[in-house]
Chains A and B, each alone.
Chain A
Amino acid sequence: MAVRVQEHDFDVGAEIGRLREGRTDIGAVVTFTGAMRGEDGEDQGLTDMTLEHYPGMTEAELERIEAEAHHRWPLQASLIIHRYGLLRPGDNIVLVVTASRHRQAAFESAEFLMDFLKTRAPFWKKETRNDGSGGWVDAREADDSALDRWQAGADAPMARPKAAQ
């Protein structure tokens, strides 16, 4: 388990290599990379974006989310990297890597980590449009509703506790 909050970019291939180095217990690796799009939700072109965060709480919250994923799925390893500071279209924002013996746990937990990260990790995006206007990005209701399927009692297979798999 590892969490990194950093200003500089990350290399997805190098991170996977480090995570798997010397390990023969890993049969499945899933990665999710989030990148900055060159337009906002209203199709307005963007020049850049600044990501603010809450140092200390960000790391603590990501570690809590990661621990919850390990509680729910039999994971062999995981990694969360989230950038902050000034980003431009095409830049990497976030990386989630999950590794397990079989693919289902890695697939499902990667999605779980992203859904929880988007609604709980204390980051805020401020965009600048091509015309110089801009402002703070509003939270999306879709992100909140994405969380619902992970609640206990949901029918989705990913909601099964680790013991049932």
Chain B
Amino acid sequence: MTDKTPATVKILYFAWVREKMGRAEETLALPEGGATVADLVGWLRTRGPEYESAFARPEVVRAALDKTHVKPTTPLAGAREVAFFPPVTGG
């Protein structure tokens, strides 16, 4: 993590990602060394079976940083809130 990244981040889960996780949100202390959204997903997948299940196909899980859509390669760069969810189906 860079100096700008806060020690803890609020993580939100929606739709089937939320169901596989068994919770809608949590606050986690991030490890050092993870700089991007993809790095965070890689770290989350090591945390337990529910994470492994929710992120089994990371390419279909979308992410937002502080309520803005981002790509896996986007740096976390001090985001306070990270959200993970399936492709949207509104309208």
Q: A residues within 8 Å of B by Cβ? A: 34, 51-54, 56-57, 60-61, 82, 93-94, 114, 117-126, 135-140, 143
A124 near B86 with CB under 8 A, answer yes
Q: Which residues of A contact B87 (CB under 8 A)?
A: 138-139
Residue of B with least CB distance to A53: B90
B67 near A123 with CB under 8 A, answer no
- A104-B86 Cα distance, complex, nearest whole Å: 34
Q: B residues within 8 Å of A by Cβ? A: 12, 14-16, 64, 67-69, 83, 85-91
Other-chain residue from A60, A114, A139 in contact with B89 (beta carbon distance below 8 A): A139
B14 near A124 with CB under 8 A, answer yes
Sample (11) of A-B pairs whose CB atoms are under 8 Å apart: A54-B14, A54-B67, A61-B67, A118-B91, A122-B14, A122-B85, A124-B85, A124-B86, A124-B90, A136-B86, A136-B89
Q: What would 19 more interface pairs be, CB under 8 Å, given A120-B88, A138-B89? A: A51-B90, A53-B90, A54-B14, A54-B83, A57-B64, A57-B68, A57-B83, A60-B67, A61-B69, A94-B90, A94-B91, A117-B91, A118-B88, A119-B88, A122-B14, A123-B89, A124-B90, A139-B87, A143-B91
A125 near B89 with CB under 8 A, answer yes
- A126-B87 Cα distance, complex, nearest whole Å: 13
A123 near B88 with CB under 8 A, answer yes
Q: Which residues of A contact B12 (CB under 8 A)?
A: 54
- A120-B88 Cα distance, complex, nearest whole Å: 7
A139 near B88 with CB under 8 A, answer yes
The DSSP consensus for interface residues of chain A is mixed
- A137-B16 Cα distance, complex, nearest whole Å: 10
Among all A-B residue pairs, the 3 with the closest Cβ atoms = A123-B90, A139-B87, A124-B15
Other-chain residue from B83, B85, B90 in contact with A118 (beta carbon distance below 8 A): B90
- A135-B15 Cα distance, complex, nearest whole Å: 10
B86 near A123 with CB under 8 A, answer no
- A119-B64 Cα distance, complex, nearest whole Å: 14
Q: Which residues of B contact A54 (CB under 8 A)?
A: 12, 14, 64, 67, 83, 85
Q: Which residues of A contact B90 (CB under 8 A)?
A: 51, 53, 82, 93-94, 117-118, 121-125
